[in-house]
A and B are shown apart, each in its own frame.
Chain A
Amino acid sequence: GQNIDQPTEMTATEGAIVQINCTYQTSGFNGLFWYQQHAGEAPTFLSYNVLDGLEEKGRFSSFLSRSKGYSYLLLKELQMKDSASYLCAVRDLNAGNNRKLIWGLGTSLAVNP
């Protein structure tokens, strides 16, 4: 079956760096997405990884290791507005069809001053 694990909650300090991990178990991996969701708002796309390695986009970076079934989202120079839930989602070709993303529960990040 499919399974995605990420920590439920994390706290960090403004200006610091935080790494949010995501591990997954799928039989037909075809890409991993990170989304940010502020309370009461829509999830917004942050990053996509399908090959191993690091993708950098401003203060946010995402890493993927397909052999380990592992990804992380790295947030640098944290700002108060980064307080949000971070959702990891994996596309599994064996999950019905490749339109379907398997979602994690999300990691609620609190950035403190």
Chain B
Amino acid sequence: ETGVTQTPRHLVMGMTNKKSLKCEQHLGHNAMYWYKQSAKKPLELMFVYSLEERVENNSVPSRFSPECPNSSHLFLHLHTLQPEDSALYLCASSQGQAGSYEQYFGPGTRLTVT
């Protein structure tokens, strides 16, 4: 149990659907992250929130829309996705954003876009 939960664990959606991924951390951390993990590629950082403020957006297409209503919850809203968006989406949190603060990851949502 890492203290970071994600739902759903698996999601299959059509290209015209709208869905949301949810992440919750129970560790009292103040930074949260969305990553995309695809086969044969390194982890790709998508968004970073620090104290509920978005501090990084790595040129992610607008069909991915993050939301951080409080320091414990993070959402990723999905709409009009493409098949190449199929991947494992990982949420992570950390106590701080610098130095030795390690990131704690959730189990991920395996997304398949049909």
Contact = CB atoms under 8 A, between A and B. Distances in A.
B96 to A, nearest CB: 9
**Interface residue range, chain B:** 20 to 34
**Interface residue range, chain A:** 20 to 34
A101 interface: yes
Nearest to A87: B43
Interface in A33-60: 33, 41-45, 48, 50
B75 interface: no
A89 to B, nearest CB: 8
Nearest to B104: A45
A99 B56 contact: yes
Interface of chain B, helix or strand or loop or mixed? loop
B76 interface: no
Given A33-B102, A98-B97, A104 B42 contact: yes
A20 B108 CA distance: 25
A99 B43 contact: no
A71 to B, nearest CB: 15
Contacts, number: 58
Interface string A91-107: 10000111111111110
Contacts of B40: 105
B2 interface: yes
A103 B42 contact: yes
B62 to A, nearest CB: 19
Interface in B80-114: 90, 97-100, 102-108
Contacts of B56: 96-97, 99-100
A7 interface: no
B4 to A, nearest CB: 7
Contacts of A89: 43
Chain A to chain B: the 4 pairs with minimum beta-carbon distance, closest first? A42-B105, A99-B97, A103-B42, A45-B102
Interface of B: 2, 4, 31, 40-43, 45, 48, 50, 55-56, 58, 90, 97-100, 102-108
